[in-house]
Amino acid sequence: MNNMNNLLFEVSDSRFSVHYLSSNRLASSWSIDLSSKAELLKKDIIADFLIKEGISLLNYSNALVLWSSKNVVLVPSNLFAHSDFDKLFELHFGKNYSKNDSDYNRNHLLGTVSLFTIPLWIKSLFVSKFPGSKIIHNSTAWLNYLSAKNTSVKFHGILAIAESHFDFVVFSMDKPILFLQNSFNEMEDIIYHISFSMQKMNLLDSKGIVEIFDFNGNSNMFSDHIITTIEQLKLANNVQWVKNTELAINSFNLCV
């Protein structure tokens, strides 16, 4: 796969980004803001964008779609296998969720299943425009990435920031111990939630690494501010906070 050309898409409610990878290196990137667009128009807007920028004509060996949303939950594979699919989704997302929007990703290595909702138009768009593309929730990519890490510290985590929510996934001894999604309004909300969850898991005084990633590259100032503020407040002094702008790219081969 090292000499292949591949496509990586980052999709959320308010932003769409495309990365063209050649030999595992970033060759080109494109992005559009969808925050002010009506939901019914987004599919056509993206389809036109793909044609206008020539993206739909690119040669590729693999295409990966990372969907970002806060509507995701991690459950054991055994629970998923022995539960009614619809009732399990109703339990987590309410009775008004659309069955057409339900989806899941299995992680056989961890023995877990990620349940999430994704608009049907996203799945139909990529199935028709990029045959063979794989669509997963972005948190699935973080789980795969951390599963492949071999670290000597007590824990290794990822803080992925989107427009209005964040993912905080932490591994210890090659297993997930924390899987948190939350909305936020201000940067301080993120710091509060992650420090509170780390305190509950007795991680604040432990030696660890947390990689911070701005999904869709839209929150770069946020990640810098978070690192600076955490260091100033002397929270988790034994934790190394690292900005990783290529986390999604680094995860690509672990997901396709």
Let me know if residue 24 belongs to a domain: yes
pLDDT of residue 1: 54
Q: What is the CATH number of the domain that holds 182?
A: 3.30.420.260
Q: Give the model confidence (pLDDT) of 66-99 as tens digits.
A: 999 988 999 999 999 988 888 899 998 888 888 8
Let me know if residue 164 belongs to a domain: yes
The whole-number average pLDDT for the span 43-69 is 97
pLDDT of residue 24: 83
Let me know if residue 25 belongs to a domain: yes
Let me know if residue 18 belongs to a domain: yes
pLDDT of residue 150: 74
Let me know if residue 107 belongs to a domain: no
Q: Look over the chain and give the mean of its residue pLDDT values, rounded to a whole number.
A: 92
Q: What is the CATH number of the domain that holds 52?
A: 3.30.420.40
Let me know if residue 75 belongs to a domain: no
Q: Which one-letter amino acid corresponds to residue 136?
A: I
Q: CB count, 10 Å around CB of 155?
A: 21
CB 19 within 8 A of CB 8: yes
Q: Are 146 and 59 in the same domain? A: no
Q: Are 153 and 238 in the same domain? A: yes
Let me know if residue 112 belongs to a domain: no
Least confident of 155-159, 175-179, 184-188, 198-202: 184-188
What domain count does the chain have?
2
Domain assignment of residue 230, given as a range: 141-252
Express as a percent the part of the chain with pLDDT over 70. 97
Alpha-helical segments (H) within the chain: 39-52, 77-81, 85-93, 120-129, 138-147, 187-200, 220-233, 247-255
Let me know if residue 40 belongs to a domain: yes
Q: Could you tell me the pTM of the whole model?
A: 0.93
Domain boundary residue, one of 20, 39, 67: 67
Domain boundary residue, one of 46, 67, 88: 67
pLDDT band with cut points at 50, 70 and 90 for residue 149 = confident
Q: Are 145 and 63 in the same domain? A: no
